[in-house]
């Protein structure tokens, strides 16, 4: 390693945190996470950033490939009050407030010195999102965007993303493809893309106004998922019914067996996931 430079793994491992089923969760609050991400973007460090909520972690317990991508060199931020409650139950863990995807994206768009690339959503949705960004922050630079096809991505698609991000000059890529697709794509591509890639899920819909966010008074109560469930019951009922149960059962197991918190995370590298 060149002296004075730091590997993506080292940067991601700096943040203290705790673990859920072997997955390292960084103890960074909203402001700390925004500062960290800004630094990574300015320095063009190829780090995958994943926002982990109860559904994310429950899925990782059932899907080894998905768990592997969260266990690879990455920065996993806590997204959701239930996950912070789990952290608080672990003796000695530092647990700041959760980091919400829409809030994190807004915070970085408001900062000068970044060029953003938007990956995900339909062409119409991306157009609305770019319009909303420009309206709220006229000085923000959206350097490029891509609406991927509704099918499994091919090697040609991956190569297009790498080349298009490079050609755009962007130093941060926001990925809104939904869980787990967005996280798997980031894990497989971030080293080649060469800049931070952030999985923000439904943030594209919220920032563009396509979907309504939970009211502010409900955020941080642990009940925000109820608002989302009532908004999209047919699409989300399985996620929250089974996902929450699996997360809670896993959390209880960790707590009962004296779950540990630790600094850093594993440094393995995994192959690209289709």
Question: Which CATH number is 58's domain given?
Answer: 3.40.50.10700
What band does 256 get if pLDDT is binned at 50, 70 and 90?
confident
Q: Residue 37 has what pLDDT?
A: 96
Domain-embedded: residue 265: no
Residue 207's pLDDT is 85
In a domain, 263, yes or no: no
Q: How many domains does the chain have?
A: 1
Stretch 150-164: mean pLDDT: 93
Q: Is residue 184 a part of any domain in this protein?
A: yes
124 falls within a domain: yes
Q: Within a domain: residue 187? A: yes
Those residues whose C-beta lies under 8 Å from the C-beta of residue 109, and which sit 6 or more positions away, are 116, 133, 136, 137, 140
At 200-234, the pLDDT tens digits run 988 888 787 666 555 565 556 555 656 555 566 66
Strand ranges in the chain using DSSP code E only, listed in sequence order: 17-20, 23-26, 48-52, 74-78, 115-119, 141-146, 172-175, 197-199
Please report where in the chains the tokens 């099918």 appear, as a residue: 151
In terms of residue numbers, what domain contains 96?
19-206+216-254
With 60 as the cut, is the pLDDT of residue 239 above it?
A: yes
Asked if 162 and 155 count as a contact pair (C-beta separation under 8 A), the reply is no
Question: pLDDT tens for residues 130-155?
Answer: 999 999 999 999 999 999 988 888 99
Q: How far apart are CA 235 and CA 192, in angstroms?
A: 33
Please give the C-alpha separations between residue 137 and each of 125, 126, 141, in angstroms, as whole numbers.
18, 16, 9
30 located within any domain: yes
- Asked if residue 53 belongs to a domain, the reply is yes
Q: Global pTM?
A: 0.81
270 occurs within a structural domain: no
């Amino acid at each position: 390693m060149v002296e004075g430079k730091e590997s993506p793994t080292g940067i991601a491992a700096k943040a203290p945190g705790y673990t859920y089923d072997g997955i390292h969760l960084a103890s960074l609050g909203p402001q700390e996470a925004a500062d960290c991400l800004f630094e990574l973007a300015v320095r063009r460090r190829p780090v995958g950033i994943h926002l982990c909520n109860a559904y994310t972690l429950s899925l990782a317990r059932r899907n080894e490939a998905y768990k592997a991508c969260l266990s690879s060199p990455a920065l996993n931020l806590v997204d959701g009050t239930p996950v912070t409650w789990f952290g608080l139950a672990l003796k000695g863990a530092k647990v700041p407030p959760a980091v919400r995807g829409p809030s994190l994206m807004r915070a970085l768009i408001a900062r000068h010195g970044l060029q953003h690339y938007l990956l995900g959503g339909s062409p119409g949705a991306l157009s609305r999102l770019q319009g909303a960004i420009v309206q709220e922050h006229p000085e923000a630079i959206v350097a490029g965007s891509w609406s991927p096809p509704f099918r499994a991505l091919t090697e040609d698609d991956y190569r297009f993303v790498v080349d298009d991000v490079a050609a755009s000059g962007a130093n941060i890529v926001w990925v809104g493809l939904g869980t787990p697709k967005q996280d798997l794509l980031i894990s497989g591509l971030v080293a080649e893309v060469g800049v931070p890639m952030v999985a923000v899920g439904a943030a594209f819909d919220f920032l563009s106004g396509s979907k309504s966010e939970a009211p502010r008074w409900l955020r941080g109560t642990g009940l925000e998922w109820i608002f989302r469930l009532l908004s999209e019951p047919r699409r989300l009922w399985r996620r929250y019914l089974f996902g929450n149960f699996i997360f809670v059962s896993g959390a209880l197991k960790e707590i009962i067996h004296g779950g540990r918190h630790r600094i850093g995370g594993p440094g393995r590298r995994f192959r690209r996931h289709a």
